[in-house]
Amino acid sequence: MRNAPMEIRPIAGALGAEIFGVNLAEELPEATIAAIRRALLDHLAIFFRDQDLLPERFLAFARRFATPIEYPFLKGLDGFPEVIAVSKLEHEQVNFGGVWHSDTTYLPEPPMATLLAAREVPPVGGDTLFANQYLALEALSEGMQRLLGGLHGVSNSAKADASRTREDRIRAAGNAEPRKVLVAEHPVVRTHPETGRKALYVNVAHTTHFSGMTEPESAGLLGFLFRHQVRPEFTCRFRWSQGAVAFWDNRAVQHNAVNDYHGHRRVMHRITLAGDRPR
């Protein structure tokens, strides 16, 4: 596959675009990297098809945008600790990441973006959903936006909604501290450091309560937000093919790996990119 003039094709009204004419395995010029970054900021989740990316080239591409970081609960590939295998095998019932979330918000500085490359895909199923959190915030009333602007959410890595989707992965390939609990506090409304736009920044997988409140006191409003922020009109759906690569902005996007391919194998390679402290 040779680089051709880059073409960007949106896949839904809310977010998401496929990019054609780019071979990610090659050393791309700065102008192309800048155009891909612009597409990421504009569309929030971007996708490439038919990429032949060995782990070293996958990492080299990711490094053009930010510093790859290790996932806190799983070992990376041998020789490539920043690249983790995200797999569901034929006999398994629970997948990894099968709940709406923004990655690792229980870290003080959550990742700015995630990249996922498809190594093996089921014959059907295994799609990933994405939700635009700019739109989720903007659809709320002015009064609700003012209320949320003064709140902070507490994220916990042990929240059951998320921990059950990584349980088997930890047993199979956990790091030296697989059971540590990570907790961080972030604004419920965060300002994107590059675009200046505000986004809703809580998620059902990790957010347990509002700072200064108990979990029961927080439950009603959080439950409303969790349902609201993934309304269909805020989302897009990506159907994977072998060699496809997804690249999404964790600062303004949530995602959910659909677990509808029991009896089949799905193997992905994932890289997360260092971010900053949400403000």
| Tokens representing residue 86 in the block | 């995200």
Residues forming the active site: 101, 103, 255, 270
Q: What is the pTM of this model?
A: 0.93
Quote the pLDDT of residue 178.
53
Backbone angles phi, psi at 62, to 5 degrees: -60, -40
Q: What percentage of the chain exceeds 90 in pLDDT?
A: 87
Mean pLDDT of 225-231: 98
| Domain spans of the chain, in order of start | 7-273
Q: What pLDDT band is residue 212 in, cutting at 50, 70 and 90? A: very high
Candidate CATH numbers 3.60.130.10, 3.30.70.20, 2.60.40.10, 3.90.245.10; the one for domain 7-273: 3.60.130.10
3-class secondary structure for the chain?
CCCCCCEEEECCCCCCEEEECCCCCCCCCHHHHHHHHHHHHHHCEEEECCCCCCHHHHHHHHHCCCCEECCCCECCECCECCCEEEEECCCCCCCCCCCCECCCCCCCCCCCEEEEEEEECCCCCCCEEEEEHHHHHHCCCHHHHHHHHCCEEEEECCCHHHHHHHHHHHHHHECCCCCCCCEEEEECEEECCCCCCEEECCCCCCEEEECCCCHHHHHHHHHHHHHHCCCHHHEEEECCCCCCEEEEECCCEEEEECCCCCCCCEEEEEEEECCCCCC
- Reply yes or no on whether the pLDDT at 173 is more than 80: no
